[in-house]
Chains A and B, each alone.
Chain A
């Protein structure tokens, strides 16, 4: 257990102290206590920068459950390094922002506890080298995200959003678990780095494709890719710092991290390249298209996140093509990785800032509805400046960082169509088209985002609050992020050596990745596509009101949300319906099912299993016995047809005494004695009770009821008979009774074998049989004596129930 393990667990440990701090230090905002945690972690992880730059990776293992190969193994390479910096860095800024955003009246203890849980879980996801531990942290992120989304528990929409995100991400998480197990079976290890080293062997495994599909589903659902993106817009009910942290910078990138992490294992398959690219591009296009029509600021940002994640995902897909080439040609596709990593960083910066500004606007004006906002440019000048920087970066306008990554994105998208591989050069032509169209809409909603808040006419009468510029505390974090946006835009190469190249090398498993970003690099196709995007984007903004209405019109039943809701509605409906078909509450129904299954299972077994009947040792039938057989048969049949209770009791005792007679015939004197006595007592009991019971009533058993009963009972009787005949006809070994017969006298000093067995050889049975008798006696006593109390209790229940009806 090294310091790095403690670093991963530090937020989790600190979350334990939060309730104590919250209770005893009420006067200081709890966020100030939390703030040092991400800051310290950020500085701690920065100290690894030398190792990462020189291409080293840090590995430390702490034993947890070594017997099943589950150890807390930490692996810090370029990719993990990038993510740890994102998580702790943005985490620190979000905590800082939340100090301004959340008032002391909120349940701050819960908030910071959940947030720290999430931070620790996320660090665990990106640093784990063990599949199972990774999965554990993965589910912990889903869980803490669920808690954070439902932070305002009294709002119905938060609960809905939290439930939805929980269901979808846990569905994906379980798929991921399946994929991990299959991977571990194929590679015979749980360690990710060993799996990557043995990637060649895994490709030939029969579980390879299945594992790949399941892992991709898991990653897609976490990263809100099409068609799993639907949880993200609803997760916007969370407090804005949560949206900024989880739903733009970190958690939604867990899926991206995972895809990047497993790329060395799966990239050999063209299914992987196509699935990741295609899903990413569909998400990019669909998310950006939907973002244009949102009325809610956070809705715009949610769909924009979805679309940007799709963009990063598609670049990861294109980058995987590099595994199929050598040398310079491979280098061209590696550029997609550097672009993806760069955009990942950029997106975290500008999207985090945009969310924070949205939160500030919401805080100041009391609404996030773009139809009510407008003309705030003079009222909130700092927010305006920050949002114009970040929104232009999102739109891909120079000189901000979004422009650089978007240029590289377009470049690799255009370039990949030339790859003579996997029909990328034919059907692959759709890739740049989708990418460019997606970028056009991105441009449109980014500009509209700024325009609708700050430009246009000021509508003070529609705003719930009087707008004002927010405190420096809330503006500090977005300001830092905006400075980063400009900084990375103007000097992108400060990132390339220490962060982007090691991360790209970790994905591609080479040391050749080379990251270089320029504001202008000649009249390439990417340059012209960017120009095209700007022109078409501006045209679309100018004609916005003419076409946006058509987007709203497309029918409800094609919406994925609608499908999700329908599934949520109909699954319980139909499962209730299904359960009600057999859980009717009538005991007879259950008995019919049990008996029919008995018949069915026996019949099926008899059909498929060979059996023989052979009777060697059968004793002859004596006259007395034949008479008793006839008697018992008649008596039992009479019970069925009996109309009075007395008659049926007498017939029942006739059967019982016949059984006793049989015991005499079969050389069982003790049994006969007991049977006679018990039968007499039971008859007396029956008579005693039946005096108080009503006369036999059939309760209008109709013909079909009787026929079904008769069929089932004949079937069960047949089962018993057939099985009895088979069992009797196939005796495989002699009885162990010989021992008892020989030693009953010399070992146990008794002559009556049955009695000796009961009290000596197998005395325990007798002990507990007596206890059964005792318990039954007590039970009967209780039933009769505790009547009065029971009656009152029963009435009380009835009284309580009446008002509900």
Chain B
């Protein structure tokens, strides 16, 4: 299962990189969101999958799933959510201001050389 998950992460990463490289701002936002999914899955996969019980303390069990990656991912989810939300509003605002969501057209306004 872990090997399969690593491949899934690889596929998700390559798709998100493809989206990030495109010209449309929306696709870039989608790409970054996808990338954070890939990273989260990667984190939990590396902590070994399913070799124990749910990490909730019980007197009779001694074998739990590793809780540390889960705590890390929980933090990561919240942060990536905050960043995605900000990025989305930024994309929305820049589209309103600049009238385009084509990043190729968003070149620095002050041309200092000519």
Tell whether, in the assembled complex, residue A678 and residue B64 are in contact, meaning their CB atoms are under 8 Å apart. no
Q: A727 is contacted by which of B46, B50, B74 (Cβ under 8 Å)?
A: B46
Considering only residues 731-766 of chain A, those with a C-beta below 8 Å from chain B are: 735-737, 740-741, 744-745, 750-754, 757-758, 762, 765-766
The distance in angstroms between the C-alpha atoms of A734 and B110, with both chains bound, is 55
The distance in angstroms between the C-alpha atoms of A740 and B92, with both chains bound, is 44
Tell whether, in the assembled complex, residue A667 and residue B13 are in contact, meaning their CB atoms are under 8 Å apart. no
Considering only residues 1-38 of chain B, those with a C-beta below 8 Å from chain A are: 1-27, 30, 33-34, 37-38
Tell whether, in the assembled complex, residue A671 and residue B70 are in contact, meaning their CB atoms are under 8 Å apart. yes
The distance in angstroms between the C-alpha atoms of A735 and B73, with both chains bound, is 16
Closest-CB distance, A581 to chain B (whole angstroms): 15
Count the B residues whose beta carbon is within 8 Å of the partner chain — how many? 89
Tell whether, in the assembled complex, residue B2 and residue A737 are in contact, meaning their CB atoms are under 8 Å apart. no
Name the A residues within 8 Å of B25 (CB-CB).
693
Taken residue by residue from 698 to 725, chain A's Cβ proximity to chain B (1 for < 8 Å, 0 otherwise) reads as: 1101000000011011111110110011
Question: Known: A617-B51, A639-B15, A745-B57. Contact between A699 and B23, CB under 8 A?
Answer: yes
Question: Which of B37, B88, B110 is most buried by chain A, counting CB atoms within 10 A of its CB?
Answer: B37
A585 at the interface (CB under 8 A from B): yes
Name the A residues within 8 Å of B110 (CB-CB).
801
Name the B residues within 8 Å of A656 (CB-CB).
33, 37
The distance in angstroms between the C-alpha atoms of A786 and B25, with both chains bound, is 22
Name the A residues within 8 Å of B27 (CB-CB).
648, 696
Name the A residues within 8 Å of B48 (CB-CB).
617
A587 at the interface (CB under 8 A from B): yes
Closest-CB distance, A605 to chain B (whole angstroms): 18
The distance in angstroms between the C-alpha atoms of A33 and B16, with both chains bound, is 74
Taken residue by residue from 655 to 680, chain A's Cβ proximity to chain B (1 for < 8 Å, 0 otherwise) reads as: 11001001101111111001100100
Question: Which of A710, A716, A717, A736 is most buried by chain B, counting CB atoms within 10 A of its CB?
Answer: A717
Tell whether, in the assembled complex, residue B13 and residue A720 are in contact, meaning their CB atoms are under 8 Å apart. yes
Taken residue by residue from 610 to 634, chain A's Cβ proximity to chain B (1 for < 8 Å, 0 otherwise) reads as: 0000010111111001100100110
Q: B47 is contacted by which of A592, A682, A697, A735 (Cβ under 8 Å)?
A: A735
Q: Nearest chain-A residue to B83 (Cβ)? A: A776
The distance in angstroms between the C-alpha atoms of A365 and B25, with both chains bound, is 71
A591 at the interface (CB under 8 A from B): yes
Tell whether, in the assembled complex, residue A618 and residue B54 are in contact, meaning their CB atoms are under 8 Å apart. no
Question: Known: A588-B103, A682-B81, A728-B6. Contact between A620 and B74, CB under 8 A?
Answer: no
Closest-CB distance, B100 to chain A (whole angstroms): 8
Tell whether, in the assembled complex, residue A758 and residue B74 are in contact, meaning their CB atoms are under 8 Å apart. yes
Q: Nearest chain-B residue to A690 (Cβ)? A: B26
Closest-CB distance, B99 to chain A (whole angstroms): 10
Q: Nearest chain-A residue to B84 (Cβ)? A: A682
Dominant SS at the B interface?
Answer: helix
A652 at the interface (CB under 8 A from B): yes
Closest-CB distance, A150 to chain B (whole angstroms): 25
Tell whether, in the assembled complex, residue B90 and residue A783 are in contact, meaning their CB atoms are under 8 Å apart. yes
Tell whether, in the assembled complex, residue B10 and residue A665 are in contact, meaning their CB atoms are under 8 Å apart. no
The distance in angstroms between the C-alpha atoms of A712 and B24, with both chains bound, is 18
The distance in angstroms between the C-alpha atoms of A715 and B45, with both chains bound, is 21
Tell whether, in the assembled complex, residue B65 and residue A752 are in contact, meaning their CB atoms are under 8 Å apart. no
Tell whether, in the assembled complex, residue A699 and residue B57 are in contact, meaning their CB atoms are under 8 Å apart. no
Tell whether, in the assembled complex, residue B38 and residue A720 are in contact, meaning their CB atoms are under 8 Å apart. yes
Name the A residues within 8 Å of B10 (CB-CB).
717-718, 720-721, 724
Tell whether, in the assembled complex, residue B51 and residue A619 are in contact, meaning their CB atoms are under 8 Å apart. yes
Q: B75 is contacted by which of A637, A689, A735, A769 (Cβ under 8 Å)?
A: A769
A645 at the interface (CB under 8 A from B): yes
Question: Known: A640-B18, A685-B85, A753-B56. Contact between A666 and B49, CB under 8 A?
Answer: yes
Question: Known: A659-B37, A690-B26, A753-B57. Contact between A762 and B86, CB under 8 A?
Answer: no
Question: Which of B68, B79, B107 is most buried by chain A, counting CB atoms within 10 A of its CB?
Answer: B68
Tell whether, in the assembled complex, residue B44 and residue A666 are in contact, meaning their CB atoms are under 8 Å apart. yes
Question: Known: A585-B107, A709-B21, A776-B86. Contact between A667 and B93, CB under 8 A?
Answer: no
A692 at the interface (CB under 8 A from B): yes
Name the B residues within 8 Å of A675 (CB-CB).
77
Tell whether, in the assembled complex, residue B4 and residue A629 are in contact, meaning their CB atoms are under 8 Å apart. yes
Tell whether, in the assembled complex, residue B101 and residue A744 are in contact, meaning their CB atoms are under 8 Å apart. no
A784 at the interface (CB under 8 A from B): yes
Closest-CB distance, B10 to chain A (whole angstroms): 3
The distance in angstroms between the C-alpha atoms of A619 and B56, with both chains bound, is 21
Q: Nearest chain-A residue to B68 (Cβ)? A: A737
Tell whether, in the assembled complex, residue B12 and residue A632 are in contact, meaning their CB atoms are under 8 Å apart. yes
Q: B17 is contacted by which of A629, A689, A713, A753 (Cβ under 8 Å)?
A: A713
Name the A residues within 8 Å of B67 (CB-CB).
737, 740-741, 753-754, 757
Name the B residues within 8 Å of A776 (CB-CB).
82-83, 85-86
The distance in angstroms between the C-alpha atoms of A784 and B84, with both chains bound, is 16
A523 at the interface (CB under 8 A from B): no
Question: Which of A656, A693, A701, A714 is most buried by chain B, counting CB atoms within 10 A of its CB?
Answer: A693
Q: B26 is contacted by which of A595, A645, A669 (Cβ under 8 Å)?
A: A645
Q: Nearest chain-B residue to A737 (Cβ)? A: B66
Question: Known: A692-B92, A752-B55, A784-B89. Contact between A735 and B68, CB under 8 A?
Answer: yes
Tell whether, in the assembled complex, residue B68 and residue A757 are in contact, meaning their CB atoms are under 8 Å apart. yes
Name the A residues within 8 Å of B84 (CB-CB).
682, 685
Tell whether, in the assembled complex, residue A586 and residue B50 are in contact, meaning their CB atoms are under 8 Å apart. no
The distance in angstroms between the C-alpha atoms of A753 and B74, with both chains bound, is 13
Question: Known: A652-B30, A692-B92, A699-B23. Contact between A753 and B86, CB under 8 A?
Answer: no
Question: Can you list 17 residue pairs at the A/B interface with Cβ under 8 Å?
Answer: A588-B22, A588-B104, A615-B3, A619-B1, A621-B4, A625-B4, A639-B15, A639-B19, A652-B30, A662-B41, A678-B77, A693-B91, A728-B6, A728-B46, A750-B57, A753-B55, A801-B110
6 nearest CB pairs, A to B: A717-B14, A721-B10, A776-B82, A713-B18, A753-B67, A713-B17
Chain B contacts to A: CB under 8 angstroms: 1-27, 30, 33-34, 37-38, 40-42, 44-58, 62, 64-68, 70-71, 73-75, 77-79, 81-86, 88-93, 95-97, 101-104, 106-110, 113
Given contacts A720-B10, A721-B9, 19 further A-B contacts (CB under 8 A): A585-B108, A586-B107, A587-B103, A636-B34, A652-B34, A659-B37, A682-B33, A689-B92, A696-B26, A717-B15, A720-B14, A741-B55, A751-B56, A752-B57, A753-B55, A754-B74, A757-B68, A773-B82, A784-B93
Chain A contacts to B: CB under 8 angstroms: 576, 585-588, 591-592, 595, 615, 617-622, 625-626, 629, 632-633, 636-637, 639-640, 645, 648, 652, 655-656, 659, 662-663, 665-671, 674-675, 678, 681-682, 685-686, 689-690, 692-694, 696-699, 701, 709-710, 712-718, 720-721, 724-725, 727-728, 735-737, 740-741, 744-745, 750-754, 757-758, 762, 765-766, 769, 772-773, 775-777, 779-780, 783-784, 787, 790-791, 794, 797-798, 801
